[in-house]
Amino acid sequence: MTRLPPPTLRARYDAVRAHSLALAAPLSAEDQCVQPMPDASPTKWHLAHTTWFFETLVLAPLLPGHRPHEPRWAPLFNSYYEALGPRHPRPQRGLLTRPALAEVHAWRAVVDAGVHRLLDLAQDDAALRERAEPLLALGLQHEQQHQELILTDILYTLAQNPLAPALRAGPPPDVAAAPEGWVAHPGGAVPIGHAGPGFAFDNETPRHEAHLQPVALGRRLVTNAEYQAFVDDGGYRRAALWLSDGWAAVQQHGWTGPLHWRDDGMAFGLHGLQPRAPQAPVCHLSFYEAAAYAEWAGARLPTEFEWEALAPELAQADDQAWQWTRSSYDPYPRYRPWAGAVGEYNGKFMVGQIVLRGGSCATPPGHARRSYRNFFPPAARWQFSGLRLAKDL
């Protein structure tokens, strides 16, 4: 974790916290309490959980005299921190009609005021500043993760409404056609992981070497038009293209195309139902679908190490869709989680997950970085997830 000068950190804190409220502003109170599936938490829960994080992990241990705003709420908004007490079941977050949205907003204001007081004290207390700045930097990165989840989760929620309500007015921004072709790497040892300066999660460290075989990665992401060709060629009906678990998922869920695609050439997104732009990157794919498309295309998915090595030369690296890799979410050599409750943040999920690299149209500005390791189960489709091809040389 990285410290920042207090004035810089205070301005950043205020901006990040305000952005969360701005993302939620177009939504009604009813919108913000709905949970259509266990993986998609309500917007109100995200606003409350990020506030609980600052209160529990920053203010409680560091601000003299701080008392929790409402202690009874702690189990409701603790996500998965065993060290911090009991938790309300994740699939039941949509049942939390209380506290009301207005109460959550008031709680956010109280916690924001507490963080301001903490920063004021830290100006003249080097020891306090040494402890506070890394935790606040972590809290802001954590809130930015939940800002992306606010968008992905509410998109899934609104997609269940027959009225197909749009979160954002007007047509979506145009996505210019990205350059085609391949970017090659000769192979050999490459440095992987965060090298600083700046913030990094513990799962991005320690920096180490990985050995690559000669490889080429697609300069751009696979497009809607290209993925439509896979669908038209019977991609969802050809078992030979699919990993075994992927083919089982196709059969179980009746998948015939990416999540939010309609048969009439439309797709549901943040701007409501819109015609699918042929040159735009295909989105809302599971790992299984990405791997099946790569097999159909005579290619494969890149490893996360290949992606990181070539990232500076790739188009659409971090602003359109997270890109599935062929890498399991495993610890780097000599990895150790952070000490204390924050050590539960990443390490304990290193099983059964697949790494995605890059960023998406929902990723907050300034949050993505070359060493960032996102991860989800292979069947997850509600995220802004697409793919980039790789081929051996």
Any domain includes 164: no
Total domain count, the chain:
2
193 in the same domain as 131: no
280 in the same domain as 322: yes
Q: What is the pLDDT of residue 7?
A: 60
Token code pair at residue 131: 């402890």
Question: What single letter denotes the amino acid at residue 200?
Answer: A
Q: Can you tell me the distance from the alpha carbon of 55 to that of 25, in angstroms, rounded to the nearest whole number?
A: 23
153 in the same domain as 283: no
CA-based radius of gyration for the chain: 22
Query: Are 133 and 26 in contact, with CB atoms under 8 Å apart?
Result: no
Any domain includes 177: no
Handedness of CA 15, 16, 17, 22 (dihedral sign): positive
Domain that holds residue 16: 6-159
Residue with tokens 């819109």: 274
125 in the same domain as 213: no
Token code pair at residue 111: 């916690």
Q: How confident is the model at residue 51 (pLDDT cuts 50, 70, 90)?
A: very high
Cis peptide preceding 61, ω within 30 of 0: no
Any domain includes 172: no
Q: Can you tell me the distance from the alpha carbon of 59 to that of 318, in angstroms, rounded to the nearest whole number?
A: 33
Any domain includes 354: yes
**CB count, 10 Å around CB of 271?**
14
Any domain includes 208: yes
192 in the same domain as 54: no
pLDDT above 70: residue 2: no
Q: What is the pLDDT of residue 176?
A: 87
Any domain includes 175: no
Q: Where a domain ends, among 159, 194, 214?
A: 159
pTM assigned to the model: 0.96
Token code pair at residue 226: 């290209």
The per-residue pLDDT for range 116-164, each reduced to its tens digit, is: 999 999 999 999 999 999 999 999 999 999 999 999 999 999 999 999 9
